[in-house]
Every structure is written in structure tokens, then in C-alpha cells.
Amino acid sequence: MNDPIDKFPIFIPSITSIKNYHNYFELVNIVLDSNITAFMLSALDIACYFKNEFERVEKIIKKANEKIIFLDSGGFEKYNIPYYRKQWEIQDLISIAEKINPQIIVAFDIISNRYKNNHFKDLDFFKNTLELAEGIINVKKKFEVIIHSFNIEKIFLYLQKFKEYDEFIYAIGIPERNLGESFRIRVVHLKQISNFIKNSLNWHSVHLHLFGCSDPSNMIEYSKNGVDIFDGVHWQDLIINPLNRCFLDYSNLLKINCNCRYCLEYKKLIKENHNNEEKYYNFYAINHNLEFYRNIWG
Ligand SMILES: [Zn+2]
């Protein structure tokens, strides 16, 4: 299977209804109209919130056309939000995957807090992840494995267990917050994981994906230490100031005085429409953010 993405590092906007339910479809459409290469949808969102609106989801898929879709499994919600615990099974994910036809499925992940103090239940974890692997192999998709462990040795152990599936593994995903409490420790761990993937497992085409990292300055540093793929959700409700790469709320869109094509258009629009700023926040703020990431990683 060829790599559907040809340039790395890459930022993948993650679209989740948890942050933006009311504007979900507007948000998705802005992303689809932009020139980003790839984005991530949640299978659980589609299954739970849009089960009676599947035509809208079909339109999204059609419009996505050549963009790369990462389909998030909903594993995190299953283990961390009691409401979903009993309702979300691997077969549900597979059935959404068959409808959406994503290029990459992001696999079920380990429960985070319960395992924090090394009280690992390896069997539970492997049961879920390997069952999913089997399911994904049946629908012939590449998948990503998210490992929620806080223990670097355990991460290596888990990775070794996936050796037999290596032709299907597209990326290894690690949540940024699991890598350590300081930036220095996180960088050290990333280097170790990246070396292990390349040198011990010989997975030269398997990517390293850092989950939940959309801070531009940190992304630049992490990318020097082996990270290929980043995703995050802040871009959905905050704007990035290009001068200091800090996040601010939407009301600062004029104040940051950005001259990207969206901000220039926004300024013109506000002038013509008697300063009715709020009405236009969403569209321009989101496009400003996507343009910002594209200017770094494009
Ligand atoms: Zn801008």
C-alpha cells in the first residue's frame, strides 16, 4: 500500500463535535473547502450524533474527494466517558469505516488513568487492539495504534507485539501529555520511541503521530525529534497569533493584525459591514488558523 501522504511533517485538523457540535457541519465544510491535505473525523460522532443525518455525512465524504481521511475509533470516549462504555464496540467502528472509506483508521486505545500507575492489564489492552487489527485487516485498511501508556518500557513492549501486523501499521500514535511532565522529558522520550521504531523494529515507513499537539512552537521542536504527524482541536475555537504563535480567543482576530489572505478579506468585510465582527468570526478565524499551519507545514 502506498503512503497516501507525500509530505511530512503534517498537521491534521481534528474535527470533533465535543468542542463544536452546533457548528459541526459548517466547520467540516470550511475544512473541506480549504487546501489542507488530511483531516480526522470521529467514528463515534458519526455514529451517535448523525445517525439520522447520514446523507449529510455522505455529502462530506463526497466533497472530501482527494483529501486523506483519518477515522478516529472512539476508543478514548469508550473508556473515558461512561455513557459510551457499553454502546461502542469494534463492529460499530468497522461498520462506520465501511461507509466512510477512510484511508487510515486510528485504532482503539488503552484506558489512560486506570493504567497510570503501572497497573497494566495487558490482556485487556491487546484483546481490544488486536481484535480491531483483525477487523481492519478484513476491510483492508491501514491503521494507527494509539498507545496511552505512561511508561516508556511498556510502550516498547507493546510495539514489539504489533510486529506481525507491520504491513498494516501506518503510524504509532502517542498522546503528548503521556510523554512526560516537562518538555525536556517529552523530547527525550520521543527520540527514544522514534529510534526504537526505526532501528529496533525496522519500521522505516511507519510514522510517529503526536496526539493532541497543536502548539506551533512545540510542533517545530518535536518534528526535529522524529514526529511526522500532529493533530489537535484548539484551531476550532482559538486563533493563533502569527507573531508569537500563541492562542487567543476569536475576538482578537482584528487585533493580531495578521495579513494572511483571510484576515485581509475579513478586515475589508468588517469595514463594509459596519463592524459586525461576530457574525463572521467562525469562517475567517478557522481559515486563518488553517492558513497559519499551511504556512509552516505546507
Ligand atoms: Zn490571518
**Ligand 1 center to 143 CA (angstroms):** 34
Distances (CA, A) of 120 to 123, 146, 185: 9, 16, 22
B/e letters for 118-146, b = 16+ CB within 10 Å, e = fewer, are eebeeeebeebbbebbebbeeeebbbbbb
Higher pLDDT among residues 9 and 83, named by residue: 9
- Do 209 and 144 contact (CB within 8 A), yes or no? yes
Look up residue 166 and give its three cell numbers.
507491520
Mean pLDDT, to the nearest integer, of 107-126?
47
**Ligand 1 center to 258 CA (angstroms):** 5
Q: Can you give the C-alpha Rg of the chain in angstroms?
A: 19
Residue 133 pLDDT > 80: no
CA–CA dist 143, 1 (Å, integer): 12
Residue 112 pLDDT > 60: no
pLDDT of residue 207: 96
Higher pLDDT among residues 82 and 143, named by residue: 143
**Nearest by Cα to 16 from 37, 45, 39:** 45
- Do 283 and 30 contact (CB within 8 A), yes or no? yes
**Ligand 1 center to 288 CA (angstroms):** 4
pLDDT of residue 88: 77
**Ligand 1 center to 240 CA (angstroms):** 8
User: In the structure, what pLDDT confidence band is assigned to residue 251 with cuts at 50, 70 and 90?
Assistant: confident
**Ligand 1 center to 183 CA (angstroms):** 28
- What's the 3-state SS for 61-125? HHHHCCCEEEEECCHHHHHHCHHHCCCCCHHHHHHHHHHHCCCEEECCCCCCHHHCCCCCCHHHH
Residue 135 pLDDT > 90: no
pLDDT of residue 209: 96
**230 strand-pairing partners:** 11, 210
**Ligand 1 center to 262 CA (angstroms):** 6
**Nearest by Cα to 44 from 75, 13, 70, 14:** 75
pLDDT of residue 123: 39
Residue 194 pLDDT > 60: yes
Residue 2 pLDDT > 70: yes
Higher pLDDT among residues 259 and 25, named by residue: 259
Look up residue 92 and give its three cell numbers.
460499530
Structural domains present in the chain: 10-236 (3.20.20.105), 245-298 (no CATH)
**Ligand 1 center to 15 CA (angstroms):** 20
- Do 207 and 228 contact (CB within 8 A), yes or no? yes
Residue 204 pLDDT > 80: yes
Higher pLDDT among residues 45 and 164, named by residue: 45
Residues of the chain with pLDDT > 70, as a percent, come to: 84
pLDDT averaged over every residue in the chain: 83
Look up residue 86 and give its three cell numbers.
457499553
- Do 201 and 211 contact (CB within 8 A), yes or no? no
CA–CA dist 213, 78 (Å, integer): 21
Surrounding ion ligand 1 within 5 Å at CB are 258, 260, 263, 288
**Ligand 1 center to 250 CA (angstroms):** 12
In terms of average pLDDT, the best of 34-38, 167-171, 269-273, 274-278 is 34-38
- Do 20 and 27 contact (CB within 8 A), yes or no? yes
- DSSP 3-state of 264: helix
Residue 170 pLDDT > 80: yes
- Do 133 and 168 contact (CB within 8 A), yes or no? yes
